[in-house]
Structures are given as C-alpha cells and as structure tokens.
Amino acid sequence: MDRVPNASHAQALDPERVLAFGAAAHWLSASDLTGRDRHQSVTEARLLTMWLVRRTTRLSYPQIGQLFGGRDNSTAVTAVAGIEDRRQVDADLRAHLDGLLARALEECRG
C-alpha cells in the first residue's frame, strides 16, 4: 500500500494556507469548510481538506478539529482514515489527492 507520509519538518506547510487552498480547489471558501454546512459537496471537500492538512502540516488531530470550526478530534481521525481507506481502492480519488498534494506543496510554501 502506498500511504502518503505526514509532513516532515522540512516540508510542513501553514495550516491556514492549506485550508484556504483546499477550499479554493473545490470552489468553496475556507468558511464553508469550517462551517456547519452538511451538503455533500461541502462535506466531501471538508474531508479531503482534512486529509490534506494532516499530510502537509504537523497538526495533531485535535488541532485539525479546531482548525475546521472546533470539531472534535474524533471527527478529524475518522475523516483522515476514511479518505486514506478510499484512496487505497479508488484510483480516481488517489489521482485527485495526489494532484492536490503536489499543488499544495508547490503553492502553499512560504
């Protein structure tokens, strides 16, 4: 299995920038992802961006939950694990996430 490692100290990105990037990549605002909207498109973008934040920053699960509107750490754990599980079996999702990860690492530095 090709798990994507968490960010190393050398490549860790600013969580707020990654949040904004993930929102924009899905045609949403950061406040959409941190808000309480439960429409499928917003929920899916939120889960994908939680995965992206976990992979590109050094935030803990409780910190990710706080970044996403004060959600519980179990929400972040479940989101990241669920996306990682889906990533392993869904080639289209894997390609989407790999592209997001590469663009985030490029665009969110500094």
Please state which of the ranges 4-13, 15-24, 44-53, 92-101 shows the lowest mean pLDDT: 4-13
**Measured distance CA(29)–CA(23) in Å, rounded:** 5
The pLDDT mean for the chain works out to 91
Check if CATH label 1.10.1750.10 holds for domain 15-107: yes
pLDDT at 110: 64
State the pLDDT at residue 109. Answer: 83
Domain boundaries, given as residue ranges, for the chain: 15-107
Predicted local distance difference test score (pLDDT) of residue 6: 60
What is the pTM assigned to this prediction? 0.89
